[in-house]
Amino acid sequence: MKKALQIALGIVTSVGGYLEIGSVATAVQAGAAFRFQLLWAIALGTLCLIFLVEMSGRLAAVSHHTLIEAVRERFGFPFFSLLLVVVSLVTLAVLASEIGGVSLAIQMATGISYPWWAFVVALLVWLVLWKGTFGIIENGVSLLGLVTIVFLVGAVTLHPSWHQVGAGFLPSLPKDDRAHYWFIAVSILGACITPYLFIFYSAGAVEDNWDESYLGVNRATAALGMTFGGLLSAAVLIAAAMVFPQQGIQIDQVEQIPLMLTVSLGQWGFILFVISLGIACLGAALEIALALAYLMAQGFGWNWGEDEKESNAARFSLAYTVAVVIAAVPIALGVDPLKLTVLTMAITAASLPFTVVPFLFLMNDEEYLGDHTNGWLSNGVVIFSIALAFVLAVVSIPLEIFGS
């Protein structure tokens, strides 16, 4: 019974972690520009994510090492330093996008421009991190994130052609605008396979004292949670594809996005969209800020833990405090959150080799995994993910120039 509850909570947490401004923005752009044609990118990203998240949890449960601790120990300080710089920069940009997402949700509710809310949101994020426990962040905010199911309701009530939706899961090229098509595909993959998720998930498993008896919970959480998150992301794409192309609307500002729910669900569609955007981005901002602090603390061997008293993990607390303040600055200066998000997702895709390659070595190392090293299927997916990560790293910047 306890394990079933943990699986349920894990699934909810995964949904909260999956759906955030990056997945929403890229899915909406894909639906508006290419209707259902990019559903395959969400499916592919979700499949890779399921395997990589499961591996992060398995590593933590069996070895009691977080992903970062294991990388630091196995690959040494020079590689860790490189990973630290790349992942910190990318993750800070993602954190800025999430703060922008919450600020935009408040703007939609109040009419007051989002830059004014940036530091208010940053303060809220910091307060929850400072006062809250890991359980509150992991389960509380994620439970609230269930409101994002409204995207699924919105997509279904728009009565899409399920035949066309099904066809979208098979990759196909559009007649025009191919650079833009590939740019969005890369951005979707960047939004799905975000490094902070692995860092947060493996640190969470250690914070929750997982051991080998949790391997089943881990597998179920990764598979069901990420699938459900991917389903919601696909629902966003479908709803956007049903509303925007026939109105002739291109997505170039976040304020356009609620319209995909108001058309089918009226006033409740608007209210639930604003709440969903605010909560999903707040949940993501909390997880990302923690992931950045985990990255620093675990890499440098500081005391860490969200449940630790701040005085016992002062440098850990300082790390998320500084991250939140820095990330609020571009939003307060008026940087467009949608442009920042799409750019960030492409850069995330470019940084993937740094976070994906270590999985292949760590997950086949018996010193860490004992009898639980990767089988042929998991290794196949890691090798595919590494190949995909290198392709994305090479193409994302040129596509950013020509296709954004």
Partner 1 sequence: MHRGDVLRSLLLPAALLVAGCGSSDDAEKELRSIASRAATAHLVTGEWERGAAATPYASSTLRVIAGNLEKDSSSLASLPLPARHRGILGAHLSELSLAVREAGAAVSQGNRPAARNAMQRMDAVARAFIPPVATP
Site residues for partner 1 per CB under 8 A? 107-113, 246-250, 252-253, 255-256, 258-259, 262-263, 266-267, 269-271, 274
- When the beta carbons of 88 and 262 are compared against partner 1, the nearer one is 262
Q: Could you tell me the two tokens for 335?
A: 């940087």
User: In sequence order, what are the residues at sequence separation of 6 or more whose Cβ sits closer than 8 angstroms to the Cβ of residue 17?
Assistant: 142, 197, 200, 201, 225, 229, 283, 284, 287
One-letter identity of residue 49: L
The distance of closest approach from Cβ of residue 140 to partner 1 in the complex, given in angstroms and rounded to an integer, is: 27
Cα(375)–Cα(394) distance, rounded to whole angstroms? 29
Cα(403)–Cα(387) distance, rounded to whole angstroms? 22
Cα(109)–Cα(102) distance, rounded to whole angstroms? 11
- When the beta carbons of 12 and 155 are compared against partner 1, the nearer one is 155
Cα(303)–Cα(393) distance, rounded to whole angstroms? 33
The distance of closest approach from Cβ of residue 24 to partner 1 in the complex, given in angstroms and rounded to an integer, is: 17
Question: Do the beta carbons of residue 63 and residue 373 sit within 8 Å?
Answer: no
- When the beta carbons of 92 and 260 are compared against partner 1, the nearer one is 260
- R_g of the chain computed on alpha carbons: 20
Tell me the CA distances in angstroms from 162 to 155, 158, 166, 167, 174, one per residue in order: 11, 11, 6, 8, 19
Cα dihedral: 302, 305, 307, 309 (round 10): 10
- When the beta carbons of 255 and 310 are compared against partner 1, the nearer one is 255
- When the beta carbons of 261 and 280 are compared against partner 1, the nearer one is 261
Beta strands in 189-333, from DSSP E residues, in sequence order: none
- When the beta carbons of 134 and 270 are compared against partner 1, the nearer one is 270
Cα(66)–Cα(297) distance, rounded to whole angstroms? 11
| Closest C-alpha to 230, from 192, 183, 199 | 192
Question: Do the beta carbons of residue 91 and residue 222 sit within 8 Å?
Answer: no
Burial 173-210 (b: 16+ CB within 10 A, else e): eeeeeeebbbbbbbbbbbbbbbbbbbbbbbbbbbbbeb
The distance of closest approach from Cβ of residue 125 to partner 1 in the complex, given in angstroms and rounded to an integer, is: 23
- When the beta carbons of 176 and 366 are compared against partner 1, the nearer one is 176
The distance of closest approach from Cβ of residue 232 to partner 1 in the complex, given in angstroms and rounded to an integer, is: 22
Cα(155)–Cα(189) distance, rounded to whole angstroms? 21
Task: Please state the φ and ψ torsions of residue 167, each to the nearest 5 degrees.
Answer: -65, -30
Cα(337)–Cα(359) distance, rounded to whole angstroms? 32
- When the beta carbons of 130 and 268 are compared against partner 1, the nearer one is 268
The distance of closest approach from Cβ of residue 31 to partner 1 in the complex, given in angstroms and rounded to an integer, is: 14
- When the beta carbons of 73 and 336 are compared against partner 1, the nearer one is 336
The distance of closest approach from Cβ of residue 254 to partner 1 in the complex, given in angstroms and rounded to an integer, is: 10
The distance of closest approach from Cβ of residue 351 to partner 1 in the complex, given in angstroms and rounded to an integer, is: 29
The distance of closest approach from Cβ of residue 281 to partner 1 in the complex, given in angstroms and rounded to an integer, is: 17
The distance of closest approach from Cβ of residue 55 to partner 1 in the complex, given in angstroms and rounded to an integer, is: 42
- When the beta carbons of 263 and 318 are compared against partner 1, the nearer one is 263
The distance of closest approach from Cβ of residue 176 to partner 1 in the complex, given in angstroms and rounded to an integer, is: 11
Cα(143)–Cα(124) distance, rounded to whole angstroms? 18
